[in-house]
Amino acid sequence: MKQVAEKANVSLKTVSRVVNNEREIADETRTRVLETINELGYRPNLVARSLVTQRSNIIGLIVPDICNPYFSEVARGVQEITQENNYSLMIASSEDSERGEIELLRVMNSQSVDGVILFGPMWSEAVDAFGAGNRPIITVNTFYDHPRVGCVMADHYNGACAAMDHLFARGHRRIAMLADVVGDPREERRVSAYQDSLVKHGLPVDESLIVRGNPRIPGGRAATKKLLTERPDVTALFCFNDLLALGALKACAEMGVRVPEDCAIVGFDDIDFASITTPALSSVRVDKRELGRSAAMLALRMIERLDTPNRLVEIPAELIVRNSS
Amino acid sequence: MKQVAEKANVSLKTVSRVVNNEREIADETRTRVLETINELGYRPNLVARSLVTQRSNIIGLIVPDICNPYFSEVARGVQEITQENNYSLMIASSEDSERGEIELLRVMNSQSVDGVILFGPMWSEAVDAFGAGNRPIITVNTFYDHPRVGCVMADHYNGACAAMDHLFARGHRRIAMLADVVGDPREERRVSAYQDSLVKHGLPVDESLIVRGNPRIPGGRAATKKLLTERPDVTALFCFNDLLALGALKACAEMGVRVPEDCAIVGFDDIDFASITTPALSSVRVDKRELGRSAAMLALRMIERLDTPNRLVEIPAELIVRNSS
DNA sequence: AATATCTCTGACAACGCTGTCAGACAACGC
DNA sequence: GCGTTGTCTGACAGCGTTGTCAGAGATATT
Asked whether B180 and B208 are in contact (CB, 8 A), the reply is: no
Given a cut of 90, is residue B134 above it in pLDDT? no
Predicted pLDDT of residue A307: 65
Considering only the beta carbons, identify the residue of A45, A108, A276 that sits closest to B217.
A276
Given a cut of 70, is residue A3 above it in pLDDT? yes
List CB contacts of B304: < 8 A, sequence separation 6 or more. none
- Strand ranges (E), B141-296: 149-154, 175-179, 210-212, 236-239, 264-269, 282-286
Residue A157, judged by CB atoms within 10 A of its CB (0-12, 13-18, 19+), counts as middle
* A152-172 residue pLDDT tens: 999 999 999 999 999 999 999
Given a cut of 80, is residue A61 above it in pLDDT? yes
Predicted pLDDT of residue A304: 85
Strand partners, B14: none
Contacts of B56 in chain A (CB under 8 A): 47
Q: List C-alpha distances in Å: A27 to A8, A35, A241, B20, B296.
A: 14, 12, 58, 48, 46
- Strand ranges (E), A73-180: 88-93, 115-119, 137-140, 149-154, 175-179
Element (H, E) at B121: none
pLDDT-derived band at B82 (thresholds 50, 70, 90) equals very high
The lowest-confidence range among A73-87, A242-256, B21-35 is B21-35
Residue B101 DSSP SS3:
helix
Q: Which nucleotide is nearest to A1 (CA to C1')?
A: D16
Given a cut of 70, is residue A207 above it in pLDDT? yes
> Cβ of B109 under 8 Å from any chain A Cβ?
yes
Residue A195 DSSP SS3:
helix
**Residue A27 CA, nucleotide D30 C1', distance (Å):** 31
**Residue B17 CA, nucleotide D6 C1', distance (Å):** 18
| Residues B89, A91: C-beta atoms closer than 8 Å | yes
Predicted pLDDT of residue B15: 92
Predicted pLDDT of residue A51: 94
Predicted pLDDT of residue B265: 97
pLDDT-derived band at B126 (thresholds 50, 70, 90) equals confident
Contacts of A247 in chain B (CB under 8 A): 276
Residue B222, judged by CB atoms within 10 A of its CB (0-12, 13-18, 19+), counts as middle
Q: Which nucleotide is nearest to B17 (CA to C1')?
A: C18
- Strand ranges (E), chain A: 58-63, 88-93, 115-119, 137-140, 149-154, 175-179, 210-212, 236-239, 264-269, 282-286, 312-315, 317-320
Q: Which nucleotide is nearest to B2 (CA to C1')?
A: C16
Given a cut of 80, is residue B120 above it in pLDDT? no
Q: List C-alpha distances in Å: B298 to B59, B285, B301, B314.
A: 12, 22, 5, 12
Predicted pLDDT of residue B308: 65
List CB contacts of B306: < 8 A, sequence separation 6 or more. none
Residue A126 DSSP SS3:
helix
Q: Could you please report the per-residue DSSP string of A296-319?
A: HHHHHHHHHTSS---SEEEE-EEE
Predicted pLDDT of residue A166: 96
Distance from CA of A45 to the nearest CA of B (A): 5
Given a cut of 80, is residue B235 above it in pLDDT? yes
Contacts of B44 in chain A (CB under 8 A): 110
Average pLDDT value for residue range B101-126: 89
Q: List C-alpha distances in Å: A203 to A53, A164, A174, A260, A325.
A: 60, 12, 9, 22, 20
Asked whether B82 and B107 are in contact (CB, 8 A), the reply is: no
**CA angle B217-B220-B224, nearest 5°?**
145
**Pairwise CA distance, residues B263 & B159, whole Å:** 21
Question: Which residue type is seen at A322?
Answer: R
* B241-296 residue pLDDT tens: 999 999 999 999 999 999 999 999 999 999 998 988 889 999 999 999 999 999 99
Q: Over chain B, what is the mean pLDDT?
A: 92
Contacts of B66 in chain A (CB under 8 A): 72, 75-76, 79
* A35-49 residue pLDDT tens: 999 999 999 999 999
Given a cut of 90, is residue B223 above it in pLDDT? yes
**Residue A18 CA, nucleotide D28 C1', distance (Å):** 28
Predicted pLDDT of residue B185: 81
pLDDT-derived band at B306 (thresholds 50, 70, 90) equals low
pLDDT-derived band at A308 (thresholds 50, 70, 90) equals low
Predicted pLDDT of residue B131: 77
CA-closest candidate to residue B114, choices B205, B53, B167: B53
The lowest-confidence range among A163-167, A182-186, A291-295, B319-323 is A182-186
Length of chain A: 325
Question: Which residue type is seen at A115?
Answer: G
Predicted pLDDT of residue B143: 87
List CB contacts of A308: < 8 A, sequence separation 6 or more. none
**Pairwise CA distance, residues A1 & A40, whole Å:** 9
Predicted pLDDT of residue A213: 85
Element (H, E) at B63: strand B58-63
CA-closest candidate to residue A325, choices A122, A111, A175, A156: A175
Considering chain B, what percentage of its residues have pLDDT values greater than 90? 74
> Cβ of B44 under 8 Å from any chain A Cβ?
yes
User: Edge-to-edge strand order for the sheet containing B58-63?
Assistant: B88-93, B58-63, B115-119, B137-140, B149-154, B312-315
Length of chain B: 325
Average pLDDT value for residue range B128-138: 85
- Residue A170 has, within 13 A of its CA and on its CB side, a CA count of 25
Considering chain B, what percentage of its residues have pLDDT values greater than 70? 98
Predicted pLDDT of residue A137: 94
**Which residue in A has a C-alpha nearest to residue B76's C-alpha?**
A66
Predicted pLDDT of residue A201: 93
